[in-house]
Amino acid sequence: MLDTPSDATTHFETAAALRLACREGRFAAPTSGQAKGYQQGNVVILPRDLAGEFLRFCVVNPKPAPILGVSEPGDPSLPMLGDGIDIRTDVPRYRVFRDGQPAEQLTNISDLWRDDFVSFVLGCSFSFETALLQARIPVRHIAAGRNVPMYVTDIQTHAAGPFGGPMVVSMRGFSTSDAIRAMVLSAQMPQAHGAPVHFGDPAAIGIRDIHTPEFGDAPILEPGDVPVFWACGVTPQSAIRKARPAIAIMHEPGHMLVTDLPTDA
Amino acid sequence: MLDTPSDATTHFETAAALRLACREGRFAAPTSGQAKGYQQGNVVILPRDLAGEFLRFCVVNPKPAPILGVSEPGDPSLPMLGDGIDIRTDVPRYRVFRDGQPAEQLTNISDLWRDDFVSFVLGCSFSFETALLQARIPVRHIAAGRNVPMYVTDIQTHAAGPFGGPMVVSMRGFSTSDAIRAMVLSAQMPQAHGAPVHFGDPAAIGIRDIHTPEFGDAPILEPGDVPVFWACGVTPQSAIRKARPAIAIMHEPGHMLVTDLPTDA
């Protein structure tokens, strides 16, 4: 079903150019590092009968699910996020979930589109990590070329209709002074998960072994590092899968919608 | 030399009313809790030949010595901090230091005033602590009616001329989630010492025993509390005493200049 060869070496200066390349089948690669200065977002597409409860889930859980934009039912555009966005074609790769289970992988969902589909775009941590690097705060997993480690916690989200369940967090380790700066910086970016939810003892939020994350790669912690935990966009994805909707469409991990919003907004 | 009875039970609504009471000899008590909503400041008065280097010390050490205002030499007013301030009379209690040693305690320094005196007003932590309480974050020493514990660290300030030496920090203990909120809140208040300089292990900044502070009262730490350390206004006072100027005048601890600046500025 991967009908387009990805081209990870192409670099796009603007979000609009990258979205056009997705639409024309010229780009289907991870979006990290692309179109610097533009906010990227997690994509969730749900039928209208679930969209209201999912919107409420996001509103009451703003740290794991910061809302960047929501569409009208059946309308594939998202004018609040960029001119001419077509959510059916402008994401590099999609994953369809049927009854909560992963199904097709696609680079274009036009054939699946329905008049009752509502699109949600939720903030992700890319713009926060860019801000850390710009502040010369080392981000260990990026320096090592790994994925960020992610953990299921015993912190419960606020449930809304069928959506709920535990919060998933990402972890980054820092020296104490960098941890303070990272906390303060992230608090200024509520659309990128905001301030952390925890630091220090992993067991205090139900993480048994920090070295074996449920998602992503094993963590890198240098001597004296403080682990700092942020709410993660996997949380709403996990909540949707647990709710087992007949159909839901999300982006393939790392293959985000790139919006026209500046990262410093 | 305490020529005025203090009246701790009088409550002043405005900074101007409190300063007038100081000037007229009707108030000589601690200013904590007075004139809510107005920033209070530490007072330092130095001869002109030292003022330039002390100003540089503050500029390069903004966390322990955040500058709220500086006067013209010989001018007892501070128009940037309030209408009609007379620094010779408007502070509840003064302490004169001669050759770095504490000398007279006064409620009025008009008789000592010189044409070469320069006044500095530096931010203090009162407005930050008010913000914590407004955010419903418990502040243990306030709840217990104690002074905040303060410690000499092995963090060196940036020296400027004769002014330098170790940073003094204050410590407040919080649950982890409150610690995150306190760090984020304080970072928004650079005029009240800003973000913390450390949290966690006291030994990492040269504090041997957290239970025996050099200044203030013994700390209150509840089970699971994280100690969080902020730069403290005792740092510039300590730097001045080490520099041993022939004369320096400061406020008596807790007896601050109350300015017309709003705390949310």
The tokens 């969730």 sit on which residue?
Answer: A44
Candidates A128, A153, A180, A205, partner chain B, best to mutate (most B CBs within 10 A): A180
Burial of A113 (0-12, 13-18, 19+ CB in 10 A): middle
Domains in chain A: ranges and CATH: 15-24+38-124+243-262 (3.40.1640.10), 126-237 (3.30.2040.10)
Mean pLDDT of chain A: 93
Candidates B184, B186, B229, B230, partner chain A, best to mutate (most A CBs within 10 A): B184
Q: What is the predicted pLDDT for the residue at A152?
A: 97
pTM for this prediction:
0.84
Beta bridge partners of residue A33, listed in sequence order: none
Q: Spell out the residues 6+ positions from residue A234 whose beta carbon is closer than 8 angstroms to its own.
A: A150, A168, A215
pLDDT in tens, B84-138: 999 999 999 999 999 999 999 999 999 999 999 999 999 999 889 999 999 999 9
Closest CA to A21 of A33, A40, A32, A8: A8
Closest CA to A136 of A171, A170, A182: A182
Write down how long chain B is. Answer: 265
Q: How far is A219 from chain B (nearest CA, A)?
A: 21
With residue B153 as reference, give the H or E element that holds it.
strand B150-156
Q: What is the predicted pLDDT for the residue at B263?
A: 85
As for the ipTM of the complex, it is 0.76
Residue pairs spanning A and B at CB distance below 8 A: 44
Taking residues B179-188, what's their average pLDDT? 96
Q: Spell out the residues 6+ positions from residue A197 whose beta carbon is closer than 8 angstroms to its own.
A: A63, A155, A167, A169, A205, A229, A230, A231, B177, B180
Among B180, B195, B197, select the one facing A196 at the smallest CB separation: B180
Give the nearest chain A residue to B196 (CA atoms): A180
Instruction: With cut-offs at 50, 70 and 90, classify the pLDDT of residue B265.
Output: low
Sign of torsion over alpha carbons A191, A197, A198, A204: negative
